Amino acid sequence: MAKAKSVFYCTACGNESAKWVGRCPACGAWNTLQEHIEKPATPGKARSAPVGMSRRPQPLPEVDTDAQIRFLTGMGELDRVLGGGAVAGSLVLVGGAPGIGKSTLLLQICSCLCRDRTVLYVSGEESERQLKMRALRLGVDSDRLFVLSETRLSDVLESADELKPDILIVDSIQTMYHEENESAPGSVSQVKDCTMAMMQLSKAQGITVFVVGHINKDGAIAGPKVLEHMVDCVLYFEGDPNSNYRMLRAAKNRFGSTNEIGVFEMLDTGLAEVPNPSQMLLEGRPEGAPGTCVACVMEGTRPVLAEVQALVCKTTFNVPKRAADGFDFNRAVLLLAVAERRAGMKLSLFDAYINVIGGLRLDEPGADLPVVLAVASSYRDRPIDPDLAAIGEVGLTGEIRSVSQLGQRLQEVSRLGFKKCMIPKNNSEKLDIPVGLTVYRVRDLLEAIAVAL
C-alpha cells in the first residue's frame, strides 16, 4: 500500500519542496511554506474517464473539432485576452489583488453569457442578496443567472450537477473547502483540491469554469501561483489603486497567445472597456518638459502608445542609483551603459530613474529608443518635440535596429495625432507612411539624439 506523501508548497510562488524551510528557496518569502499531504491513489477507485470522451486513442484527423467550441463573453477586451472568446470546457483562473474588480468583471459578463447560456455564480464571500444588489448596480438581470452563496465544495458540485449550467463562476477559490481535507480554507492543500475538482467538472461535463483567486503578499492564503500549472488559462487583473484603469493580462493560456492585454476603466456602473488604450496612456502628458518621450510597442496584435519618463540627476552616492518601473531593470542598466559609451553622456555620475506611465510594462525591444531619448532629454534638460514618437531597438554598438510590424505602429502613431516618428533606418519592411506623418530614419544613437534634441 502506498504511503501518504507530504510535500510543501510556497503560498506566494507555488514552489514545491520536499521539506519545510523557513524561507522559500524560490522567491525568498519567509514562512510561506505549507504542508500538503498527497493522498495515495486507492486501487479500484481510479479516476474514471470524463463522460462523453472515448478512452481509446483516436487518430488525430478523426478527432472532432467543433467550431462552436469558442464563445464570446460580450466583453471585447476579455475575449481578446482569452484568445478570441472563452473555450467551452476550460478552466480560467482570474487572479488579482483585493478590490481590483474581479467579482465585478465576472458578474458583468453574465448579462451577455445568459442570453443563450445558463450561468451558476457561486460566491463564498457575498450573500445572495448582496450579489443581487451588485447585479442591479451593474445592470445584470436574467432568469438564466443563478446565484448561490456557498463555501462547501460538495454542495457546489451538487448544485452544478442539478442545474447543469453551461458556465460556473466560483468566487473565490480561497473560500471553498473540501470536507475530506482537514486543512483550513485558503491553504495550499484546500485550494489545490478544490481546483482539481473544478477541473474535473469542466472536463467531464464541458462546463466552462471561471475561478477567482486572490493574490496577497504576506502568504497567509495560497495564491493563484500555486494553481497556475493546473488550469487552462490564468488571467491577472492589475491596476494602480489610485487610478480607475485596470489591465487584464494572460500569464498562461492553453488556447491562445499570452501577449494580449485588455484595458478597462472602473466606473460606478461597472467596468467599461477601453478600446483605445493609447489615448488613455497618453492622458495628461506634460508637453515641453524635459525627460519624456512617446513609445509605440506591440501588445499582442495591437500597437499601443505609451509615455516613457526619465529623470537623471547628479549622484550623491559612490555607485549611481538606477530604478525602472514598467521597464526591465537590467535592460535599463544596459541602455544607460550604451548611452554612456556610444552617445557620450556621463551617466555613471548620475542617478537615473525610468518610469512608464499608466501601468503598462514595456517589455519589447522597440521601446529601447524612446527610453534612451527620454534619458538624453533629461540629461541635457531639453524637451523632445511633443509631436514626436520613437520606435527602435538599441544595439550594443549604439546602432538602431529594426523592429517588427512597423507599418502598423506608424498607423497608430498617426491615428493618435503625432506628426513625426523616429524609426530605424534599416527596416526591411516595405512601408506605407501615413499621410501627414514625417518619418526620421536613424542609423544610430548619435543621429537619433541629434534629431530629437
Ligand X SMILES: Nc1ncnc2c1ncn2[C@@H]1O[C@H](COP(=O)(O)OP(=O)(O)OP(=O)(O)O)[C@@H](O)[C@H]1O
Alpha-carbon span 264 to 249, nearest angstrom: 11
- Quick one: which of 16, 18, 14 has its CA closest to 5? 18
102 binds ligand X (CB under 6 A): yes
- Residue 292 and residue 312 in contact, taking contact as beta carbons nearer than 8 Å: no
Backbone angles phi, psi at 277, to 5 degrees: -60, -30
Interaction with ligand X in 227-286: which residues (CB under 6 A)? 266, 268
Binding ligand X (rule: CB under 6 A), the pick from 80, 214, 246, 331 is: 214
Radius of gyration of the chain (CA): 25
Cell digits of residue 428: 526591411
Note if the bond before 404 is cis, omega within 30 degrees.
Answer: no
Closer by beta carbon to ligand X, 93 or else 304:
93
Stretches 15-23, 99-107, 153-161, 430-438: which one binds ligand X (CB under 6 A)?
99-107
3-state percent helix, strand, coil for the chain, nearest multiple of 5: 30, 30, 45
Closer by beta carbon to ligand X, 203 or else 214:
214
Stretches 24-32, 42-50, 144-152, 399-407: which one binds Zn ion (CB under 5 A)?
24-32
Minimum distance from CB of 199 to Zn ion (Å)? 23
Q: Is the dihedral of CA 130, 186, 102, 151 positive or negative?
A: negative
Closer by beta carbon to Mg ion, 76 or else 99:
99
100 binds, among Zn ion, ligand X, Mg ion, none (CB under 5 to 8 A by kind): ligand X
Stretches 7-15, 93-101, 374-382, 409-417: which one binds ligand X (CB under 6 A)?
93-101
Strands 245-253 and 261-267, how do they pair?
antiparallel
Binding Zn ion (rule: CB under 5 A), the pick from 3, 7, 9, 15 is: 15
Minimum distance from CB of 196 to ligand X (Å)? 23
Minimum distance from CB of 38 to Zn ion (Å)? 19
Alpha-carbon span 153 to 142, nearest angstrom: 25
Binding Mg ion (rule: CB under 5 A), the pick from 103, 187, 190, 427 is: 103
Cell digits of residue 243: 487610478
End-to-end CA distance of the chain: 75
Binding ligand X (rule: CB under 6 A), the pick from 28, 40, 76, 99 is: 99
Cell digits of residue 173: 477559490
The mark string for 27-46 relative to Zn ion (x by CB under 5 A, - otherwise) is x-------------------
13 binds Zn ion (CB under 5 A): yes
Q: Which residues bind Zn ion (CB under 5 A)?
A: 10, 12-13, 15, 24, 26-27
